[in-house]
Structure 1
Amino acid sequence: MKQDIRDLFREDEVSNHKLPKHHRQEFYEKLKASRPQRKSGLKMNYILKIAAIAVLFIAMAFTVFKMANKTVANEIVNESSLEHQIESIEKEYLASIDKEWGKFVAVANDEKLVKRYKDKLDDLDADYQEISKQFKADNNNILVIEALVDNLKTRLQLLKDIQQHINLLNQKTEQYETINI
């Protein structure tokens, strides 16, 4: 039963049947109608979602920026107030040290004694300058601040001890002078 397929279509009534002239146009119209409609442009719903996301992003960025500025401003205020306190303490101690040194130089008669104490004070001042550099590098370190204050206290105490020693010497000389008179 071998048969040629072409022969089957030749004898078929459908193959001899002619299509109407507008058949092609009607086919295209039906095809377009059966396709899902494509909506042009963005839906309003999507536009509102995008706008809401943009507003949230801007609000969060503004909040973070504002908080960062407050933090930086607080750090600057804290550092500057601490530095001002250290500077005021330093000025008070240095004024007292200069006052005591002036008294010592005015009362002291021995140049060797003045030179010896001047060398000690110069050594303490050099140490103070070194500690001061450390403070500028790390001004939040409490140990450095304590070392600054201790150095100033040591210098002032040294001068007060010298002054007391000279007062004792002067009292002894006055006692000897009164006995000789």
Structure 2
Amino acid sequence: MAQDLRSLFEKDTKAQHAKMSEGHEARFLDKLDAELPVKKQSTRFSFLNMAASVIILLGLSFGAYQFFQSTPVIPDDDKQVVETNIKTLGDVSPDLKKVEDYYLASINLELSKVQMTPENKDLVDGYIQRLKELNEEYDKLTLELNENGPNEENLDALIDNLKFRLNLVMRLKDKLQEFNDDTFTQESI
């Protein structure tokens, strides 16, 4: 039962040498071309594809150049650029912020209580003008705080300015009370 496999394969390959008919390969290739035609790309579209690639490449290169270029922008005129990161008294310390908030709230509260009438308008306007001057001085001190950094003299000057403004408003209130009392006593006579 056992047979040599080599001898079987040798006999089988000699019997299997069948030849194809003439022109079989050419007919097969013709049928293949008919079923799957080869499309040739027109040179016009390939040229447009290359042109579009070049334009995109140039655009990206220009964008990268502009992005990584680090030239500072210089204003055309001699106007000073206003610094937006200005420190106030409250930025130095949380305790100083509480002091600043207290004084500003007190000043605004007392000013809101002031009743201006045509009779006391000149008196109120004089005090309001002095308050504006103190407010401008406070702004100058704040700028000095930003330029020189926080120091004891500057912080004391800012707090004193707030005290002066509160005292000025309190004096205005007292003067208005005296004015109203004088007006009331003159009307009763």
The structure that has the greater radius of gyration is: 1
Please, what TM-score do these two structures have when normalized by structure 2? 0.47
Please, what TM-score do these two structures have when normalized by structure 1? 0.49
